[in-house]
Amino acid sequence: MRKNKDELRPEKVDGIELLDNPLPTWWVALFNFSMIFGLGYFGWFHILNKPGLKEDLVQDRKTHEQLMAAREQVALSPDDIVARLQEPKLIQEGKGLYAAHCSPCHGQQGEGTVGPNLTDKFWIHGGTPEMVLASVSDGIPAMGMVAWGPIIGQQKVEAVTAFVLSLQGTNPPNGKAPQGDEY
């Protein structure tokens, strides 16, 4: 700080006299802040190569697309779902899933052991394709029937449900007695 606040500089520029005051503190502070911020910015994005707005955007778009795809699946009308659950390819895929995940409780042929018989017309939690799909996807946790949706995913739930529905009326030996209501 100069002693005299409004002291003039000794020289003139094109006849213009100049004061010799220091820059205002707020201006210097802003300047220093910008310098430090700039260095940080440069280090973060150009040396450490941290993800920036562009990567954020790409990620956001990906999430959005996944969401839309998921929503499209949910938006299948009941008729579409019923038709889909009859696709032979899906049933075939479900067969392996059933053997791996379901047969311990529902029997190798769906005849029922711990869990109910899945081959008869009687259902505890509803026997329309959508209802069976919901039983498999959401489970009946209180009764020891796992919610399979979060475990094997929607697509596999549909496959294994398609297989279960294909067992209707197969009448395997040692079938467990019917439980629930007739559909």
Binding residues for ligand HEC (CB under 6 A):
101-102, 104-106, 114-116, 118, 123-125, 132, 135-136, 140, 143-146, 148, 160, 164, 179-180
Looking at the Cβ atoms of 75 and 142, the one nearer to ligand HEC is: 142
Smallest distance, ligand HEC to C-beta of residue 42, A = 54
Q: Which backbone phi and psi does 153 adopt, to 5 degrees?
A: 90, 155
Closest to ligand HEC by CB, 84 or 125: 125
What is the rounded CA–CA span in Å between residue 75 and residue 70?
9
Q: How far is the CB of 77 from ligand HEC (least distance, A)?
A: 21
Which residue, 73 or 147, is less far from ligand HEC as judged by CB? 147
Helix, strand or coil, per DSSP, at residue 166: helix
Angle in degrees, 0-180, between the axes of helices 154-166 and 129-138, rounded to the nearest 10: 130
Encode burial over 9-18: b for 16+ CB neighbours within 10 A, e otherwise. Answer: eeeeeeeeee
Q: How far is the CB of 50 from ligand HEC (least distance, A)?
A: 43
